[in-house]
Amino acid sequence: MSLKHIPKVDLHNYIHGDAAQKQAFVQTLGDSFSRIGFAIVKNHGVPQSDIDGAYDAFQRFFALPDPVKRQYEDPEIAGQRGYISKGREHAKGSKVGDLKEFFHVGQIVEDNDPIQAEYPDNIWVNEVPEVEKFGTRVYQSLEGSGRYLLRAIAEYLGLPVSYFDDKIHNGNSILRPIHYYGIENPSQVPDGAVRAAEHEDINLITLLIGASADGLQVLNSDKEWVAAAPEADEIVINVGDMLQRLTNNRLKSTTHRVVNPPREELHKPRYSMPFFLHPRSDMDLTCLEGCIDAQHPKVYSDMTAGEYLDERLREIGLKK
């Protein structure tokens, strides 16, 4: 069955609810991920004051002159930390850069885990010190919420509830504040360029804090584009390719995009803040035995999360 609307779940019911509420959450989330790959979550656990602080800080950063912003861009680390300038990223298979610029905040290792050696240092902004303060807070809150969501998915798949816990501890997750910049003259838009061309995410799951404007659309199984329009206090979550690969397509990494506004509104910017929840690089993405049967033969080769990430970063132009 195709979906015309994206289902909603309440994370409070999973964390603090009774057995029936928890089971209902698991079933609704799992079914939604199986059918359309997306869900909308309320009571997600990120304080609104931190969300507001992060949006204010990153909007001030994006308002800086381009030469100043480029001081915080390091192409040598494949865009994994700091600023990524306009048009550098494109969807897999596309030759046209997206109409956006963004910033990456990476893992903050606080327990002397040796995995720290795998990660470049975060890049912070001298002109806007609040980037570090609120970027860190939102990153860690979304990481905690993502842990609960993956526990629910583990239950849905018949795995131990803690199956993902050690795999995402100090994982290679990324917080990406995005500025879809306004364009005063529509004729300046390159042919085929959109704010974010249709694509699928690389990671396990994505948690998206509500954007400042509409535009996010999801492709359902009837090949219809469905608007993902959460309320101001909700977040959108979706399956990434790593989770789809692990579950042998049982959970769907669904194509989505951010469309351009009408020409008369193209000058208005749009901001959003996705959190791409990645596991540690050594996580084995070999398809789960419970997701393979005669009707669903194994369709993916064995690969680690690190190997898969490297492959995809090259495909989207962030790594040479």
Mean pLDDT calculated for residue range 268-292:
95
Predicted pLDDT of residue 269: 85
Q: For residue 61, is pLDDT > 50? A: yes
Q: Give the 3-state secondary structure of the chain.
A: CCCCCCCEEEHHHHHHCCHHHHHHHHHHHHHHHHHCCEEEEECCCCCHHHHHHHHHHHHHHHCCCHHHHHHHECHHHCCCCEEECCCCCCCCCCCCCCCCEEEEECCCCCCCCHHHHHCCCCCCCCCCCHHHHHHHHHHHHHHHHHHHHHHHHHHHCCCCCCCCHHHHCCCCCEECCEEECCCCCHHHCCCCCCCEEEECCCCCEEEEECCCCCCEEEECCCCCEEECCCCCCEEEEEECHHHHHHCCCCCCCCCEEECCCCHHHCCCCEEEEEEEECCCCCCECCCCHHHCCCCCCCCCCCCEHHHHHHHHHHHCCCCC
Mean pLDDT calculated for residue range 163-190:
86
Mean pLDDT calculated for residue range 166-191:
83
Mean pLDDT calculated for residue range 252-269:
78
Q: Where are the domains of the chain?
A: 8-315
Percent of the chain with pLDDT over 70: 87
Among 255, 197, 248, CA closest to 226: 255
Per-residue pLDDT of 26-60, as tens digits, reads 999 999 999 989 999 999 999 999 999 999 999 99
Domain 8-315 has what CATH class? mainly beta
Mean pLDDT calculated for residue range 54-71:
96
Q: For residue 191, is pLDDT > 60? A: no
Percent of the chain with pLDDT over 90: 67
Per-residue pLDDT of 236-257, as tens digits, reads 999 999 999 999 999 999 898 8
| Position 148 confidence tier, pLDDT thresholds 50, 70, 90 | very high
Predicted pLDDT of residue 268: 79
Mean pLDDT calculated for residue range 13-27:
98
| Position 2 confidence tier, pLDDT thresholds 50, 70, 90 | very low
Mean pLDDT calculated for residue range 198-215:
83
Ramachandran area for residue 248 (φ above 0: left; ψ -120 to 50: alpha; else beta): left
Instruction: Record the pTM.
Output: 0.90
